[in-house]
Structure 1
Amino acid sequence: MTESTPGTRRPWTVPDDLLARIAARAPGYDADNAFLAEDLDELRQAGYLRIGVPVRDGGSGLGLRATAAVQRTLATAAPATALGLGMHQVWVQAARSVAARGGTFLQTVTDAAAADRLLAFGVSEPGNDAVLFDSLTTAEPDGAGGYRFTGTKVSTSLAPAWDLLSVFGKDTSGPEPRLVHGFAVRADGGVRHLDDWDTLGMRASQSRTTILEGLHVPAERIVRVLPVGPVADPFVFGIFAAFELLVASVYVGIASRAVTLAVERVSGRVAMDGTPRSADPDVRRAVAAMRSATDAIALQVDALARDVDELVDHDRWFPLLVGTKTRAVDTAQHVVDEALRVVGGSAFRASDELARLARDVRAGQYHPSTRDSAMRTIAAAEFGPLPR
């Protein structure tokens, strides 16, 4: 029995009154292009940053499956809040995955989350489509086991508020290049965020460009050094599985909310002849198809997250993960577009919740793995790698 199963401790959920306040703030964050500061404060107080921390360390002991359910619920109220704070949960779940497979090198992550400290990702780089398997950032050894990082990171969610920022770069000082992963704290200095997050959607995440200017990370906060290129390592798997499935869960939440809004709006309308709009067979068919598609992606995300928790050994883990993430995003976008069509012109206002969902949902195509990258991964699993 895992920590998050019934019988050990009741799984953590977002309190209903807090969820309502988060939903009420979402339009303002979006309109003002403002960071989710109040959401973070209230969720921190409610124990959200610790939901994946083991019970023995003061957390709620949620695994990936239960955390994905929390993220899905949070996304129905405020997608940008769910996506941004989900980056913290990705790290916590990556640490759980590593620990479950016998590793201790991400204890720094668990300790930080247990202390309600906010974790963020400094991984994505402009022009780097290899993501975790190569880096354009330089990692220069300091001679004592630490490194100085210099480079540019993009899409750094939680930029205004993180306590620990993961960074990685490439050390070319030895005979073979190595990828170095570590954690910076704000007091380290050497980190500068640009105020450049003026996007179509997911605005409250404030995922700003980050400049690393010789950032020094001491040896005790260097957590992994790996070769360049794809590698079977629990660190890579932990990050990849948590990222793909927790991001996918946000888009499942968006799709679910779009269906709910479509049903609510349609149910309150009557045609000129007195027929309820909800009795229109075309509307009923459209809404049924939307709900069916949403159920399918919800079940797939849930099943794969359960398998991560239960240490299932899929021989096709990476194709399954990238396929699920891209399918969730594509399905959510289709469902939101169908909801806009069913509801009609009243949803075509910038202030309408469906219009905000239509903008937020389009961010999904930019998160790794992108559709093109995912299809390459799946094709390689079927045919083998392309000949050199």
Structure 2
Amino acid sequence: MSAAEMTGTIESSAEILADRVGRLVPMLADRAAEFDAADGFVADNYALLKEAGLIEAGVPQELGGMGAGVRDLAEMLRLLAHGCSSTALAFSMHTHQVAIPAWRWRHQNVAAVEPLLRRVAKDRIILLSSGGSDWIGGSGEAVKVEGGYRISGRKVFSSGSPAGDLLVTGAILRDGADDKVIHFAVPMKAPEVTVLDNWRALGMRGTGSNDIVIDGLFVPDAQVAFQRKAGEWHPVFQIIATIAFPLIYAAYLGVAEHARDIAIGIATQKPPSEDLLHCAGRMETALRAARLAHGWMIDTVERNAPSAESVNDVMTGRALLAEHAIRTVELAMELAGGAGFQRKHGLERLFRDIQGARFHPLQAGPQARYAGAMALGLPVSQIF
């Protein structure tokens, strides 16, 4: 609890989050290299997030949470990345899975999401996203049976999987040319659910982004949240894309900022030269571009009008942020010189971690085609 909370002074959610995260960052930083070296999931850090009350940060106050909006949640994730990239990225998956139903409850009066949000606030459960494996095309198989569906599939890149309580996912209901995707939540403790230990990656090694195997899980009809056409944008996915990616990419912005800070610390110990100034200036310019792109993404969310247009705006921002965040870290390595190549400074780890910004939807090809189709007034419903 912060000093202001103890004295009864009213603080905004942003101030409370900044205070709590600020006290966590040094602890996260102390163990980041250890998790990276061992390919170990950041389980201890999740315990800290729970103790700090960050699990329920995005739940509306009326439902027992802190009521933080997307801007404040993005700031939380950005700051967490200054301590541990993997913790920030993995936690962004839970954070956006809370922020989306919170937005729907607040702006669309969707009462069906209320029990989930109350449970996050009360029990501090961790929500998982099956991410890119369950994008617009869907994955896995749903077979209709009496009273519900029998689900099988393999969900890859499920960040935070060792800590998860519910996996928010979907499966394809085959029907020839008219395939559907049904969406539902999977209890991670169900006997039909197995988390593999197979996350071995270039960077973001502590995210626990293992594959999750679902083998014959029964999902009752009543637990299907919604159904959509496979391989085509649906209004709910326009909400998901608009809200999720400014949160996910807040973590990558934090990685770039952290790399910049380390590089500046090293560079200030060197004699100034024209080359040093030039490199530092290019790094600062790239980071400013990444920050501007992220600000654009947040502004898009705050229009509160998810649509094909908001998806285009967010994904354009995502592309620009990824490009300039990666460039920032490259230049940080160059500015640090040989010191950046040594593990003890942490830059080489951040160089590996930032590469993950390339791989979330919409990746470079689909994003460019989507933006081009929007500019030319052509359909985008099947570009993903």
The question of a shared fold, defined as TM-score above 0.5 by the shorter chain, is answered with yes
Q: Give yes or no for the alignment of 1:17 onto 2:23.
A: yes
**Aligned mate of 1:301, from 294, 305, 312:** 294
Alignment-derived partner of residue 274 in structure 1:
none
- CA change 1:362–1:16 in 2 (3 A) is same
> What SS does the aligned partner of 2:304 have?
coil
Alignment-derived partner of residue 113 in structure 2:
106
**Aligned mate of 1:138, from 141, 144, 147:** 141
Q: Deviations over 1:83-110 (max 9, x none)?
A: 0111000111111222213333433542
> What SS does the aligned partner of 2:162 have?
coil
Alignment-derived partner of residue 292 in structure 1:
285
Q: State the distance in 2 between where 1:263 and 1:281 align.
A: 15
**Aligned mate of 2:69, from 63, 73, 85:** 63
Q: Which moved more, 1:318-327 or 1:288-297?
A: 288-297
Q: State the distance in 2 between where 1:175 and 1:312 align.
A: 31
Q: CA deviation at 1:351?
A: 4.1
Q: CA deviation at 1:313?
A: 6.6
Q: State the distance in 1 between where 2:306 and 2:342 align.
A: 47
Alignment-derived partner of residue 6 in structure 2:
none
Q: State the distance in 1 between where 2:365 and 2:112 align.
A: 32
**Aligned mate of 1:184, from 186, 191, 203:** 186
Q: CA deviation at 1:307?
A: 3.6
Cα-Cα RMSD = 2.3
Question: After TM superposition, what 4+ stretches of structure 1 lie above 4 angstroms from structure 2?
Answer: 312-315
**Aligned mate of 1:93, from 91, 95, 99:** 99
Q: Which moved more, 1:48-57 or 1:146-155?
A: 146-155
- CA change 1:323–1:306 in 2 (3 A) is closer
5+ residue gaps in structure 1? 1-5, 126-130, 270-276
Q: State the distance in 2 between where 1:22 and 1:220 align.
A: 41
Do the aligned partners of 2:260 and 2:283 also contact (CA within 8 Å) in 1? yes
Q: CA deviation at 1:56?
A: 1.8
Q: State the distance in 2 between where 1:54 and 1:385 align.
A: 36
Q: Which moved more, 1:183-192 or 1:216-225?
A: 216-225
- CA change 1:159–1:356 in 2 (3 A) is same
- CA change 1:229–1:25 in 2 (3 A) is same
Q: CA deviation at 1:169?
A: 0.7
Alignment-derived partner of residue 117 in structure 1:
125
Q: Which moved more, 1:211-220 or 1:16-25?
A: 211-220
Aligned letter for 1:262?
A
TM-score by length of 2: 0.89
Alignment-derived partner of residue 196 in structure 1:
198
5+ residue gaps in structure 2? 1-8
- CA change 1:355–1:8 in 2 (3 A) is closer
Do the aligned partners of 2:132 and 2:361 also contact (CA within 8 Å) in 1? no
Aligned residues: 367
Quote the sequence identity (%).
Answer: 24
> What SS does the aligned partner of 2:55 have?
helix
- CA change 1:313–1:138 in 2 (3 A) is closer
Alignment-derived partner of residue 82 in structure 1:
88
Aligned letter for 2:46?
L
Q: Give yes or no for the alignment of 1:236 onto 2:237.
A: yes
> What SS does the aligned partner of 1:305 have?
helix
- CA change 1:48–1:73 in 2 (3 A) is same
**Aligned mate of 2:356, from 346, 351, 363:** 363
Higher helix share: 2
Q: CA deviation at 1:377?
A: 1.1
Q: CA deviation at 1:177?
A: 2.4
Q: Deviations over 1:286-331 (max 9, x none)?
A: 2222223222322332343244234157762122111111221111
- CA change 1:210–1:315 in 2 (3 A) is closer
TM-score by length of 1: 0.88
